[in-house]
Amino acid sequence: MEISEKAPAKLNLSLDTPFRHQDGEPEWRMVMTAIDLSDYVHIKTIPNSKEITVQTNTGFLPCDQRNLAYQAAKLLQSKLDKPEGVEIEIDKHIPVSAGMGGGSADAAAVLRGLNKIWNLNMSREELAKLALTIDSDVPFCVYSEPALVTGRGEKITPIGPLPPMWLVIAKPQASVSTPTILRQIHEQHLNHQEVQNVVSAIKQQNFDKMCRHMGNALEPITMKKCPDIIKIKDKMLQFGADAAQMSGSGPTVFGISQKKSRATHIYNSLRGFCKEVYLVRALDSLTTK
């Protein structure tokens, strides 16, 4: 059987980590949204086989067990009574190593797709809990809708659509290693974020309040490795963004505007400064066009 799944990128409108668990893993408090910049994942199952293969249209990604989509297929394959192999083809559009969850989005797409093909009948909550064993962003990507994300990343609470807005996304040329950034977190030194205020602003459809309370506690850490982050933020605000910040562990920066005309101006102004620039909308759900 075959199926194709959309794998949207994610952005962090608010990100904080208040403490570490005893095993060293961070506790997260984040407001996340999916956007209409997506990879596309085609999944084909092969009867009487246990082989898993991954192909992509980019040479930057591993296609073996290091690939998160491969790991997702392996995880669900273990739940089958009879052997079936999996062929995965990934059409990449999400920038790699950008803090936008591209690999996690692909893994979540494989989980959703194989859940349907194999009639596993797992709920989104069950898939999200399972997805945490792959990466902390995969549970959110299973949902891919505006949500409060807590715990180690597996507790997903949908919060409804964002206020109407446009997003301009710019990725600096540098790439950042998420594990490297996470090792440098010292919770007592972080500028902790008002995550709940962002949640309430979204529920109230209060764009200005959301902009006032947005923030990313990891931003100062990543900025030391990638000074272009602050340059891009400053340019976005200079060109008229209502708010601008880094997503995830970086280095991608996004700016938001209520007006498409202003967002288009920001987009056009940044293209001469940054090679990878995108003008997108947020997704209310995976069915949002």
What domains lie within the chain, and their CATH numbers?
A: 2-158 (3.30.230.10), 166-283 (3.30.70.890)
Q: Which residues are catalytic?
A: 10, 137
- In the three-class reduction of DSSP (H, G, I as helix; E, B as strand; rest coil), residue 279 is classed as strand
Let me know if 177 is exposed, middle or buried by CB neighbors in 10 A (0-12, 13-18, 19+).
exposed
131 marked as part of a ligand binding site: no
CA angle 272, 239, 144 (to 5 degrees): 85
Q: How far apart are CA 128 and CA 137, in angstroms?
A: 10
What CA–CA distance (Å, rounded) separates 199 from 187?
A: 22
pLDDT tens series, the chain, 289 aa: 999 999 999 999 999 999 999 999 999 999 999 999 999 999 999 999 999 999 999 877 889 999 999 999 999 999 888 889 999 999 999 998 888 999 999 999 999 999 999 999 999 999 999 999 999 999 999 999 999 999 999 999 999 999 999 999 999 988 888 888 989 988 888 989 999 999 999 999 999 999 999 999 999 999 999 999 999 999 999 999 999 999 999 999 999 999 999 999 999 999 988 989 999 999 998 874 4
The answer to whether the annotation marks 101 as part of a ligand binding site is: yes
Q: Is 95 annotated as a binding residue?
A: yes
Decide: 254 and 170 in contact? Cβ < 8 Å: yes
Between the two ends of the chain, the Cα-to-Cα distance in Å is 25
